[in-house]
Amino acid sequence: MTPASHPSASALPEGADRGAEVLRVEDLVKHFPVAAGLLRRRGSAVQAVDGVTFSLATGETLGLVGESGCGKSTVARLIVRLLDPTAGRVLYRGRDIAACGRRQLRDVRRELQIVFQDPYGSLNPRRTVHEIVAQPLRVHGEYRGGEGRRRVDETLEKVGLRPGDGDRLPHEFSGGQRQRIGIARALVLGPRVLVLDEPVSALDVSIQAQVLNLLRELQSELGLAYLLIAHDLAVVRHLCDRVAVMYLGRIVEIGASRAVYTRPLHPYTQALLSAVPVPDPAQRDRPRRIVLGGDVPDPANPPSGCRFRTRCWKAAGRCAAQDPALVDRFGHGHPSACFFAEVPAAPTTVGLPP
């Protein structure tokens, strides 16, 4: 494999300017109604996503990070419209996906595809790899004889599989190879945007690195934009140009990867980064590790005001009364949603090149 170059060297699809906005999410809300029961008021809802706004540019990778229940995977499903939003818009090149009819949605899906976490559950075990990868072409009426076969073989090759692998069944492959099949299926229609939902979290370290390298290579070769949903902060740092940190259905901080990782402004981001075990025993007694107390609150009954305040060491009366807006508080192009956001005195992650 050739070393991946930075996405700025991308071969972009025709008619696409690098840096042009390709996907935009505006005030996205998804509430799941909870069945009325003894313990819950009638009409209560799990506020899985509650007012999320961001945009994604051509050739760019945006990471969406946060812990379980923060709503990141729901955002992924709303974007590819596996779920309908309660409110808000998902604009793919200016067109609102939530308002699309079937036919328009099909056009959008050609260009906007998703790769799922579980390389075991997301591939039909009775179909050959060729059939699995050909399926999107058939749905779009583009699988025609020799031409269709050739496109599938080309795509398999692109993700590092051999054309001969097309005749085999998914169970004959290891986890890493299966994830390549999932990526091939997402690529075969020639999309511009891939939503990657925890694409490597089921894989072992040595295999994870192969898939991460593949994703980088494909991006620079095809000029793809990625929305990466992941809980592993090191994986996100490795792949992303920008990062959005989510907590209980909201974005608490968004900015350039390097800025968020070295100068996190929101207390939650600071705690999250400091909690990641560092694979270097020389740093185990590093100071300023923040261990948060308690658990994430129930998303059906989130705290008033700032949702992080129940675990926050900076919380004051104001935090319960008012909702802090996600705004660029320091003019660095790095918005945060905290009244007490602070630029850390020193870079917070270790080992940065001077």
Partner 1 sequence: MTDRGGGSAPAGQPVLRIRDLVVEFDTPDGVVRAVDGVSYDVAGGETLGVVGESGCGKTVTVLAVLGLLPRRSARVVRGEALLGGMDLLRLPPRRLRAVRGKRVAMVFQNPMTSLHPALTVRHQIAEALRAHDRGLPRHAARRRAVELLDAVGVADAARRARGYPHQWSGGMRQRAMIAMAIANEPDLLIADEPTTALDVTIQAQVLDLLREVRGRTGAATILITHDLGVIAEMADRVVVVYAGRVVETGDVHTIFHAPRHPYTLGLLAALPRLDTDRQSLAAIPGQPPDLVRRPSGCAFHPRCGLHRGRNRCVAQSPDLATVGPGHRAACHYADELAAETARAAGMSAAEPGDGPGAPA
Q: Does 150 bind partner 1 (CB under 8 A)?
A: no
Q: Which is nearer to partner 1, 135 or 201 (CB)?
A: 201
Residue 353, both tokens: 């090149």
Burial code (b: 16+ CB inside 10 Å, e: under 16) for 249-258 equals bbbbbbbbbb
Angstrom distance (rounded) from CA 78 to CA 62: 16
Q: Does 10 bind partner 1 (CB under 8 A)?
A: no
Q: Which of the stretches 74-82, 85-93, 275-283, 327-335 binds partner 1 when contact is defined by CB under 8 A?
A: 275-283
Task: By CB under 8 A, name the one of 86, 104, 128, 213 that touches partner 1.
Answer: 213
Size of the site for partner 1 (CB under 8 A): 70
Backbone angles phi, psi at 67, to 5 degrees: -90, 175
Angstrom distance (rounded) from CA 341 to CA 266: 5
Q: Does 31 bind partner 1 (CB under 8 A)?
A: no
Q: Interhelix angle for 145-158 vs 175-187, to 10°?
A: 130
Q: In angstroms, how far apart are the furthest CA atoms of the chain?
A: 68
Burial code (b: 16+ CB inside 10 Å, e: under 16) for 213-232 equals bbbbbbbbebbbbbbbbbbe
Task: By CB under 8 A, name the one of 14, 42, 285, 331 that touches partner 1.
Answer: 285
Q: In what order do the strands lie in the sheet with 112-115?
A: 112-115, 193-197, 225-230, 61-65, 242-247, 250-256
Task: By CB under 8 A, name the one of 136, 264, 302, 335 that touches partner 1.
Answer: 264
Task: By CB under 8 A, name the one of 42, 103, 171, 284 that touches partner 1.
Answer: 284
DSSP type of residue 289: -
Q: Does 100 bind partner 1 (CB under 8 A)?
A: no
Q: How far is the CB of 246 from partner 1 (least distance, A)?
A: 12
Angstrom distance (rounded) from CA 307 to CA 110: 37
Q: Which is nearer to partner 1, 11 or 205 (CB)?
A: 205
Q: For residue 132, which of 117, 152, 116, 150 has the smallest C-alpha distance?
A: 152
Strands (DSSP E) contained in the chain are 21-33, 45-57, 61-65, 87-92, 95-96, 112-115, 193-197, 225-230, 242-247, 250-256
Q: Which is nearer to partner 1, 136 or 264 (CB)?
A: 264
Tracing tokens 């409110």 back to the chain, one arrives at 87
Q: Does 83 bind partner 1 (CB under 8 A)?
A: no
Q: Restricting to residues 331-350, which ones interact with partner 1 according to CB under 8 A?
A: 342, 344-346, 348-350
Q: How far is the CB of 213 from partner 1 (least distance, A)?
A: 6
Q: Which is nearer to partner 1, 189 or 337 (CB)?
A: 337
Taking residues 289 to 308 in sequence order and writing x for each that binds partner 1 by CB under 8 A, - otherwise, the string is xxxxxxxx------------
Are the C-beta atoms of 302 and 295 separated by less than 8 Å?
A: no
Q: Does 4 bind partner 1 (CB under 8 A)?
A: yes
Task: By CB under 8 A, name the one of 68, 126, 146, 317 that touches partner 1.
Answer: 68
Taking residues 220 to 259 in sequence order and writing x for each that binds partner 1 by CB under 8 A, - otherwise, the string is -----------xxxxx-xxx-----------------xx-
Tracing tokens 């025709």 back to the chain, one arrives at 14
Taking residues 179 to 208 in sequence order and writing x for each that binds partner 1 by CB under 8 A, - otherwise, the string is -------------------------xxxxx
Contact residues toward partner 1 (CB under 8 A) are 3-6, 67-68, 174, 176-177, 204-210, 212-213, 216, 231-235, 237-239, 257-258, 261, 264, 267, 270-296, 313, 342, 344-346, 348-353
